[in-house]
Amino acid sequence: MTTIGQPVSRYDGRLKVTGAAAYTADIFLPGATHGAIVQSTIANGRAVSIDTAAAERAPGVVAVFTYRNMPRMKSTPRPWSHLHPHGQSYLPLQDDNIHYAGQPIALIIAETLDQAAHAGTLIEVSYETRDPVLFGPKMVKEAVDPPQFLWPVSSSVGNAEKGIADGSIRLEQTYTTSDRHHNQMEPHATTAVWASDGTLTLYETTQHIFGARELISIVLGMPLEKIIVVSQFIGGGFGGKAYVWPHTLLTALAAKAVDRPVRLQLTRAQMYSMVGHQSATVQTIAVGARENGKLTGIRHESVSATSVFDDYIEYAALSTRSLWAVSGGISTNHKIVHANRNTPTAMRSPHEALGHFALESAMDELAYASGVDPVALRLVNDAELDPHSGRPYSSRAMRECLMEGAARFGWDKRSPKPRSMRDGRHLIGQGMAGAIYTHWRWPAEARVIILADGTALVETGSHDLGTGTYTVMRQIAADGLGISLDKVSVRLGDTRLPASHASIGSATMANAGASVMLAAQAARNKAIELALSGRDAPLAGAVAKEVTLADGFISAAARNVKVSYAELLARSGLSELVGEGKYDPVEEANGPKAIFSFAAVFAEVRVDPELGVVRLNRLVGAYDAGRIVNPKTARSQAIGGIIWGVGQALMEQSEMDQVLGRFLNRNYSGYLVPTNADIPELETLFVGEFDEEASPLGAKGLGELTAVSVAPAIANAVYHAIGKRIRDLPITIEKLL
């Protein structure tokens, strides 16, 4: 019996479509009050006075907090770490300074949400205003060298400048991407309740319950064991819910101050200024190559914006270090500009999706300059060793991605000359791009419990972001125990469960999944031991290697006896059998091999030459993500990632008011995201194989990989259609006309 590799439908699907799944904001506690945040209307300055008298007298108001009476917090720890992930280091309502538009300046607690929101409108604020510092291409000269955030800020292998100079073909261009915002269906929300023994329970929209607990412990100055964080269903995270943001800290402290549960849900508009965003980038790439397209040198430099108080870096040049083989050398560097905005954060897919637009657009420009077909160009630059570390890849099916993806797409039927393909009045363009994505290796723990009735329970402090984690963990445990899927249940999203890592970086399947596999193996081995030598052992005299587990029964080849888990536990007088799994991998950077996921994306667009409207006709994505545990949920991930990339390419843009320094687009009517009408039929294929270095499961990261290189594939297709190169995302009508 095997369920791994089968297209199993999601077990949580029925709960969600019937409304039975309880998201954070659905959890109501007796006696709960409601919070509403009042935000600054300026981007730089200070609050000279805040008059709260009218708000305090308003109906239903329980408390009003400003910097004058908010309980004090301890500083966020430095350096920043995934283990205690603050969204921003500047803590709310601790002083009168204003660093960005939309910064919290007051918190209202009232009996109802309407009462809290109304009271917020009664607060009067006087400001001392200073001109905001904004980010844009003209600010690149103000960029500074940041301290290391995740990876080294700069890199150099070989002599990139000499390699570029040695190339018979040399190109240098600047590519820009826009500010973008998360628009998860579920807004950020927190419900905080304090028990009489001082225990704080937070129902939280988080992708990292244990990191949230750690950060809250530090900032609130309380023991870890006194904090419980629960996040069982998440209506979209995409990186933005992986960190602790100001509203969570405010809710926890307010609940303690008023001695009642407090529920706070951000409005859609507040999500544009209080929980991070993806910063715009200005990237310059210089490339040298021989006439056959073989790369001789690459220099990739990126500048992005961050807040005035943090050093967040968008590592846009990261992928250039490892994607293509370069004979002469590769150099990369990142700089930041401190501006009056809230701290940026990870957004599917951080770093890689931004950098690939520049890199794979430059590769397409090189293809036209050299006369080498874009697929052939990438094949000739396929790498056998990671250019950055010199290590062999654990697995690299880039060639298969390129060739099988091209075959499925029908790339050989493409006319290579721009503006040479038409469908009636529309110009047709076809473009492609390769992709690489970082593989994260993090420790994870799980527990698998075989119960007296023969069913099994999986417990791990991982999360389901809507990706199917509840389902795939069932599959892994069922396979490990030799039982059917309907006999397995899963508990996730609670810090009282075995500790696991954040659900970010497309790491859940490979790492948390590995811990479940190990826990199932441990429970299985205990059951075998009981069957062989336990009380009233049914398989006494057999040897372990002869024992098999299938269809919920344990049997031995040499004996005509089989016993169910339920009977085995009954014979032994046990109510349960517990297996613990602890996956503790070596960090990828310290391993013997370089581990990445790979992809190739092929896009066809149609462009109205008179109106400048671009529509996606079709898209094929070929992915190397190692072993695919569930093709159905994997395809769902790929479709979601492709749609995400379409938004990046053609629609998503957060515009900044150049006088007031605040984002103008703060809802779905002002910020465009793809809808069903924008998305044609999408084809996906998986070409990877079991990767033992990546995970005991053989899986590599998939979810965020699928959003990488969609934008450059579309941009390259637009060039092929109209013969005009767009180097600034998104590709909008005014840029084409």
Known catalytic residues are 704
CB-based contact 480:490 (threshold 8 Å)? no
Strands, E, within 340-381: which ranges?
none
- What order of strands is seen across the sheet that includes strand 200-204? 61-65, 104-110, 33-39, 262-265, 189-194, 200-204, 227-230
Query: Dihedral sign, CA of 646, 648, 649, 653?
Result: positive
- Tell me the C-alpha distance between 502 and 234, whole Å: 13
- Tell me the C-alpha distance between 87 and 246, whole Å: 8
CA distances (Å), origin 719, targets 419, 421, 614, 617, 713: 9, 12, 11, 15, 10
Q: Look up tokens 């545990």; give the residue.
A: 629
- What order of strands is seen across the sheet that includes strand 613-624? 422-423, 426-438, 596-608, 613-624, 682-686
Terminus-to-terminus CA distance in the chain, angstroms? 59
Tokens of 459: 């417990």
Tokens of 412: 């050989």
Longest dimension (CA), the chain: 86
Q: Measured at the alpha carbon of residue 498, what is the angle toward residues 626 and 489, in degrees to the nearest 5?
A: 70
- Tell me the C-alpha distance between 718 and 608, whole Å: 11
CB-based contact 605:614 (threshold 8 Å)? yes
- Alpha-helix residue ranges (DSSP H) falling in 156-287: 160-166, 209-220, 246-258
Q: Measured at the alpha carbon of residue 440, what is the angle toward residues 325 and 587, in degrees to the nearest 5?
A: 90
H, E, C per residue of 252-305:
HHHHHHHCCCEEEECCCCHHHCCCCCECCEEEEEEEEECCCCCEEEEEEEEEEE
**Helix%, strand%, coil% for the chain, nearest 5:** 30, 25, 45
